[in-house]
């Protein structure tokens, strides 16, 4: 059984996944992940009568996203893995967002909020039963996104929710139509699904070496 965590955005998501069994909790924490995450994990495990020692791994959405949220989620996942002596798995946030929508859309623009009108973004395309990356993680102001992205895309993620009006205006007819009929699963759900595949393939991450994917060029401190 895999415990998945998502603290990259406004809400806090935790989930348990094992074979066909899945249970999830989404808490609208208002970026107060440090105050609620561990207690919500305890509650989810207790509700399912599961101890940490019975888990197979802990997975975490590793960024980009809220700086504080990333640190909280990563620290919690690492601490639990060390305490329970189980594997640690990271799932890039934009990969998780791509996997949160149906393959029928064909092409996905994943967006996470950054500062002001900036967003972290990447484009994925469905091919051979998986989402292939067409770009690396990038950071740009929303005003120039249409200059960097060709073809139709289905937008998904908190970055789109925050800037939907402007993004819809900028892209005009290049957003995939009938998006209102396409259901988007919570990020923690797809994080758990991707983590399960990585677990089966033995793709674990190093607890000591892994860091959040901030995808932001921090200014260097003067010596």
Taking the mean position of all CA atoms in its chain, how far away is CA 25? 15
pLDDT at position 178 is 59
Alpha helices in the chain (DSSP H): 33-47, 67-84, 93-98, 145-148, 158-162, 164-171, 187-200
What's the rounded mean pLDDT across residues 134-158? Answer: 94
177: pLDDT strictly greater than 60:
no
213 band by pLDDT with thresholds 50, 70 and 90: very high
Q: Which residue has the tokens 């957003």?
A: 175
Q: Which residue has the tokens 């603290």?
A: 7
Taking a C-beta distance cutoff of 8 angstroms, is the pair 175, 84 a contact? Answer: no
Concatenate the DSSP letters of all residues of 96-120 into one string: HHHTTS-GGG-EEEEEEE-STTEEE
Query: For the CA atoms of 9, 119, 186, 49, what is the dihedral angle to 10 degrees?
Result: -30
What's the rounded mean pLDDT across residues 170-197? Answer: 86
188: pLDDT strictly greater than 70:
yes
What's the rounded mean pLDDT across residues 123-148? Answer: 96
Tell me the two tokens of residue 10: 């406004």
pLDDT tens readout for residues 25-70: 999 866 688 889 999 999 999 999 999 989 999 999 999 999 999 9
Evaluate if pTM is beyond 0.85.
Answer: yes
> Which of 12, 206, 147, 163 has the alpha carbon at shortest distance from 155?
163
What architecture is domain 2-93+186-200? Answer: 2-Layer Sandwich (3.30)
Taking the mean position of all CA atoms in its chain, how far away is CA 43? 22
2-93+186-200 and 101-181: identical CATH topology: yes
Across the chain, mean pLDDT equals 92
Taking a C-beta distance cutoff of 8 angstroms, is the pair 3, 16 a contact? Answer: yes
103: pLDDT strictly greater than 60:
yes
**Every domain of the chain and the residues it spans:** 2-93+186-200, 101-181
116: pLDDT strictly greater than 90:
yes
Region 101-181: CATH code: 3.30.420.40
Tell me the three state secondary structure of residue 124: strand
Distance CA 27, CA 21 (A): 20
pLDDT at position 222 is 58
Tell me the three state secondary structure of residue 35: helix
pLDDT at position 174 is 76
pLDDT at position 223 is 53
Q: Is 71 exposed, middle or buried (0-12, 13-18, 19+ CB in 10 A)?
A: middle
Tell me the two tokens of residue 143: 């005003």
Distance CA 22, CA 193 (A): 10
């Amino acid at each position: 059984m895999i415990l998945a965590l998502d603290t990259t955005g406004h809400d806090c998501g935790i989930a348990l996944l094992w074979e066909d069994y899945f249970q999830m909790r989404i808490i609208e924490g208002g970026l107060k992940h440090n105050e609620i995450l561990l207690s919500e994990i305890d509650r989810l495990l207790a509700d399912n009568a599961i101890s940490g020692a019975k888990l197979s791994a802990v997975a975490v959405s590793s960024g980009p996203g809220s700086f504080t949220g990333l640190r909280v989620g990563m620290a919690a996942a690492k601490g639990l893995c060390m305490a329970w002596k189980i594997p640690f798995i990271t799932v890039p946030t934009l990969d998780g967002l791509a996997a949160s929508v149906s393959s029928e859309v064909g092409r996905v623009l994943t967006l996470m909020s950054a500062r002001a009108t900036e967003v972290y973004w990447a484009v994925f395309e469905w091919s051979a039963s998986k989402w292939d990356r067409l770009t690396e993680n990038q950071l740009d102001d929303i005003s120039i996104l249409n200059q960097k992205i060709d073809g139709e895309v289905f937008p998904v993620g908190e970055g789109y929710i925050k800037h939907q009006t402007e993004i819809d205006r900028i892209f005009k007819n290049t957003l995939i139509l009938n998006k209102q009929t396409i259901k988007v699963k919570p990020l923690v759900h797809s994080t758990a699904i991707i983590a399960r595949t990585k677990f089966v393939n033995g793709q674990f991450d190093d607890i000591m070496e892994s860091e959040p994917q901030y995808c932001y060029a921090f200014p260097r401190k003067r010596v």
